[in-house]
Chains A and B, each alone.
Chain A
Amino acid sequence: MKQISLLSRFRESRLFWPIVAWVLILIFNAIVEPGFFKLGIIEDPIYGKHLYGNLVDIFNNGAPLMLVSIGMTLVIATGGVDLSVGAVIAISAAMGAVLINPALGNQLITNDILTRNATNTPLLIIILADLAAGTLCGLWNGLLVSRARIQPMVATLILMVAGRGIAQLITNGQIMTIYYTPYFWFGNGYILGLPVSIYIVAVVLLLAWVLVRKTAIGLFIESVGINAKSTFYSGINEKNVKLFAYAFCGFCGAIAGLILSSYVHSADGNNNGLNYELDAILAVVMGGTLMTGGRFSMFASVIGAVVIWTFTVTVYSLGVPANALLAAKAVLILLVILLYSDYSRRLMNQLFERRGSQHGTAN
């Protein structure tokens, strides 16, 4: 009996559907491409021995999206949306690249400067500046939404468009290549054989969980998302709750930008974090948070992000060309929407209930 109740509790939790989706994709891979799960250990000249394989890549490459999904979860839970996270990633990446590159300003950039493998700015300052820039972007969005009372979609659309311009301004309109080995550690390094980015996701997720669930912030966010007016009447400053959610989302975008630019060794205002906002929204929806706001689970959103990256890697490994990826993703989105529709939910529930009652009579 206890096992059944545990099972039904799991089925009702937000983690159920994204995990089911993930397992389905993995099973598909196991059948179609037996080599998909192969893991090996390789010796890297810089980072030493570490694991490699598709699964490792999924988590390593998917880390920026997972981070953005954590922040996006909070924003969506307040009943909003942040379309600018992709642009925030680009700003953060540009910020990092510029601070590393000694050729700030109008100085002619020579090969000599670029290959010095050194930085004008201590790494800690670079990280802090990155995070500050992202958080500032988030605060800007939050102010537009909570104080100026602009529709979230419109308010964040401003930075979505302007952000990439800002990123290019920071890098003087160029794609900046980064030559600074310590910076590469975030996107390419390993701790105990596992990618650093996985640890970063874990730490940020834990931090967010403590910040949101061990304080009243989580309750306030959910309350605002369900009924902002009642929340206001209860004495909660619903404006500041929204402000916090957007600022935190910007903060997550900044970390994502840091990892992404470290991974590709460059900052490109036009392409860093392109379409990440859409993937993040998809991840959050997969995680069972309603677009209208309310109850949320950041962990479920992270699993949603894992599903998206597993899907992406699967599509590539099937030999689908990169430019057809978006079309393939559209199929995934369609499946998710159908799976999450009220109708299919009801169908599933009936199915489970029938089986449950059979169990009952058998006992």
Chain B
Amino acid sequence: MINTKNVVNMLGIAKSFPGVVALEDVNFSLRRGEIHALVGENGAGKSTLIKVLTGVEQPDKGAIELDNKFVQVRSPQHSQELGISTVYQEVNLCTNISIAENIMLGHEPHRFGSIHWRKMNEMAQEAINRLSINVDVTQPLGNYSVAIQQMVAITRALEVLSAKVLILDEPTSSLDIHETNLLFDVMRKLKSEGIGIIFITHFLDQVYQIVDRITVLRNGKLVGTYDASSLPRVELVAKMLGRSLTELDAISKVKFQEEEKKDKQHLVEAKGLGLTGSLEPVDLELNANEVLGIAGLLGSGRTEMAGLIFGIDSPDNGSLIVNGEKVNKFSPLESLKRGIALSPEDRKAEGVVGDLTIRENIILALQARYGWFKFLSTPKQNEIADNYIRLLGIVTPSAEQLVKNLSGGNQQKVILARWLATDPKVLILDEPTRGIDVGAKAEIQKLVMQLAEEGKSCVFISSELEEVLRVSDRVAVLRDRKKVAEYASDVDDKTLIQTMAGEL
């Protein structure tokens, strides 16, 4: 059956990188005049699929059909020639030259061997007017907002490169509501002109606002393609996270026997803590002897919240009270002194120092608290390192091994050891089990519960609901950079998913 409605058909795409299967037998189709959302959590394979379509990566297996003809997309430039254009979140245009120049770059009209400026400006103005946007094309691009810059990028894609397929990669993440609506108007207009649009975003509200169909990817596999109108939001979230709703209904939740809780002591209290553009004001209490789980999709503000409590960023809203004292200076060092620790989300970029040894990585935070001149002696360092290697079961021939040579799970344990060595009262763990094997995952979960039992306050952030529910005494749910709910540990998965999706 030939489907003439489809402008793009991707068939059985597979792509592996050393050690990771990024895509496995993925089918994807895009119709003419359609807005098609591509959704999935981190590592689902969205960006790899786009890279294959735009020629950045070559697929190991599978074929791409464009207008019912098989094509091999050799390079990003080749994909543009084929009529596939991508507009990224970070606009890659030149802000210091005029809008007209940006649109027409490389395709300027000439007269007498030099650029025909008047004609070029006219052509650019005409092109951008088609999107019903009111700008002066002779002005430098930098004078306009990111939203307008994206429109210019879209105009260039359509006019100069005559795109049939437009890929918008997280276009709205730096736009406000008004600008987002402006972009959506443009998208609808293009849709009516028959252009196929692939829309990648993690804002589910926006997905339902504008798209016709949704393709869900998870762990490099295709979950399915659905009509937006017939897929309830809860089911979408369940599919992204890999749980079926019927299955969830069947689970009879084992109620935790509420222990005789020791005196609830607020170790940390956030009152309206927020940072404009990053996290809307949040109220939160962290108690001793307790694990607080944080559930929320990627981009829900969970990492931002952890960063504010730990002092990576300074809030511009509300207050943070630690041990009954209001915090005025926000920095990791200050937090460390107050007994707050953070195991960051991006283990490689923010966690380990790869070319230092395990020993050096473990003592780093403790040494930071001791300062420059009170240097831990070598025997003392060895003692601490060996102690935690044994305690956490870090698999390594010696403490002198470079951390970059360890597996993900062991690296995570090294970061935990780094913070445990400082004996923190509050331990915030942002995705501590991401990308590590099942055994290490269970060990880390057990450790977190054990630490809470010993009197620490743990915050456990994860996109795996099952895990959050297993370790947590309370669960806070974040959505669209807001805290939307807080549940006791006996909440069921379904309620959580519905809250995350914004249906409760």
Q: List 19 A-B contacts (CB under 8 A).
A: A214-B375, A215-B375, A220-B372, A222-B356, A223-B353, A223-B360, A226-B354, A227-B353, A230-B351, A230-B352, A230-B353, A231-B353, A233-B344, A233-B350, A234-B418, A235-B335, A235-B336, A235-B365, A237-B331
Report if A219-B332 is in contact (Cβ < 8 Å); known contacts: A214-B375, A229-B350, A231-B353.
no
Closest residue on chain A to residue B368 by CB atoms: A235
Chain B nearest CB: distance from A14 CB in Å? 14
A142 to chain B, nearest CB (A): 15
In angstroms, Cα B371 to Cα A219, docked, is 12
Give the shortest distance, in Å, between B124 (CB) and chain A (any CB).
Answer: 34
Contacts of A157 in B (CB 8 A): none
Known: A235-B336, A295-B355. A223 touches B364 (CB 8 A): yes
A229, A230, A235, A295 — most chain B CB neighbours (10 Å): A235
Q: Assess the A233–B352 pair: CB atoms within 8 A.
A: no
User: Quick check: A227 and B354 within 8 Å, CB to CB?
Assistant: yes
A64 CA / B376 CA spacing, docked (Å): 34
Residue B367 is within 8 A (CB to CB) of chain A in the complex: yes
B333 located at the interface, meaning its Cβ lies under 8 Å from any Cβ of chain A in the complex:
yes
With contacts A234-B365, A237-B333 taken as known, whether A227 is within 8 angstroms of B352 at the C-beta atoms is yes
Question: Cβ of B365 and Cβ of A226 under 8 Å apart?
Answer: no
Given contacts A219-B360, A220-B372, contact A233 B335 (CB under 8 A): no
Closest CB of chain A to B348's CB: distance in Å? 9
| Contact across chains for A216 and B371 when beta carbons are under 8 A apart | yes
Is the CB of A62 closer than 8 A to any CB of chain B? no
Cα A222 to Cα B353 in complex, Å, equals 9
**Would you call B375 and A235 a contact (CB within 8 A)?**
no
0/1 string, B366-382, CB within 8 A of A gives 1: 01111111111000000
B351 partner residues in chain A, CB cutoff 8 A: 230, 233
Is A71's CB within 8 Å of the partner chain B? no
- Is B372 touching A235 in the complex (CB atoms < 8 A)? no
Beyond the given pairs A227-B349, A233-B312, A234-B368, 11 more chain A to chain B contacts, judged by CB atoms under 8 angstroms and listed by A's residue number, are A215-B375, A216-B370, A216-B373, A223-B356, A226-B355, A230-B351, A230-B353, A232-B332, A233-B350, A235-B368, A294-B355
- In the bound complex, how far is the Cα of B344 from the Cα of A166, in angstroms? 46
Task: Tell me whether B35 is interfacial, beta carbon within 8 Å.
Answer: no
Contact with B along A146-162 (1 / 0, CB 8 A): 00000000000000000
- Say yes or no for A318: interface residue by CB 8 A criterion: no
Number of B residues, CB within 8 Å of A: 30
Instruction: Answer yes or no: B342 CB below 8 A from chain A CBs.
Output: yes
Q: How far is the CA of A275 from the CA of B351 in the complex (A)?
A: 39
What A residues does B374 contact at CB under 8 A? Answer: 216
* Minimum distance in angstroms from A75 CB to a CB of chain B: 17
Could you tell me if A219 and B367 are in contact, using CB atoms closer than 8 angstroms? yes
- CB-CB under 8 A from A336, the residues of chain B are none
Q: How many Å from the CB of B387 to the closest CB on chain A?
A: 19
- A322 lies within 8 A of chain B by Cβ: no
> A215–B16 Cα gap in the complex (Å)?
46
Which residues of A come within 8 Å of B, CB atoms?
214-217, 219-220, 222-223, 226-227, 229-237, 294-295
Cβ contacts B181-206/A at 8 Å (1 or 0 each): 00000000000000000000000000
| From B354, B372, B418, contact of A217 by CB (8 A) | B372
CB distance from B436 to the nearest CB of A (A): 18
Report B-chain residues with C-beta under 8 Å of the C-beta of A295. Answer: 355
Min CB distance A290 to B, Å, is 9
Residues on A with C-beta less than 8 A from B336 are: 235
Measured CB to CB, the closest approach of chain B to A297, in angstroms, equals 14
In the complex formed, the residue of A with least CB distance to B374 is A216
Residues of B with C-beta under 8 A to A217: 372
Instruction: Determine which of B332, B356, B376 lies in contact with A235 in the assembled complex, contact meaning CB atoms within 8 Å.
Output: B332
With A230-B351, A230-B353, A236-B333 known to touch, is A215 a contact of B373 (CB < 8 Å)?
yes
Given A215-B372, A216-B371, A217-B372: A236 touches B354 (CB 8 Å cut-off): no
Measured CA separation A230–B364 after assembly (Å): 10
B350 and A230 form a contact (CB under 8 A): yes
Q: State the Cβ distance, A146 to closest chain B Cβ, in Å.
A: 14
Smallest beta-carbon distance B414→chain A, Å = 11
Shortest Cβ gap from B341 to chain A (Å): 9
| Chain B residues numbered 218-259 whose CB sits less than 8 Å from any CB in chain A | none
Complex-state Cα separation, A81 to B350, whole angstroms: 23
Given contacts A223-B353, A223-B360, contact A216 B372 (CB under 8 A): yes
A230 to B353 alpha-carbon distance, docked (Å): 6
B residues within 8 A CB of A235? 332-333, 335-336, 365, 368-369
- When distances are taken between beta carbons in the complex, the residues of chain B under 8 Å from A227 are 349, 352-354
**A230 vs B371: C-alpha distance when bound (angstroms):** 17
Min CB distance A209 to B, Å, is 13
From B331, B333, B349, contact of A229 by CB (8 A)? B349
Write the chain B residue with the least CB distance to A237: B333
Determine the distance from Cα of A235 to Cα of B368 in the docked complex, in whole angstroms: 6
User: Which residue of A216, A227, A234, A236 has the most chain B CB atoms within 10 A of its CB atom?
Assistant: A234
Chain B residues near A220 (CB-CB < 8 A): 367-368, 372
Considering the complex of A and B, which 7 residue pairs feature the smallest CB-CB distances, nearest first?
A235-B336, A235-B368, A235-B333, A236-B368, A235-B332, A226-B355, A234-B364
**A216 surroundings in chain B (CB, below 8 A):** 367, 370-376
Question: A230 to chain B: which residues have CB within 8 Å?
Answer: 349-353
Task: Give residues 385-412 of B contacting A (CB, 8 Å).
Answer: none
Question: Inside 8 A of B372's CB, which chain A residues have their CB?
Answer: 215-217, 220
Chain A residue with minimal CB distance to B335? A235
Contacts of B365 in A (CB 8 A): 234-235
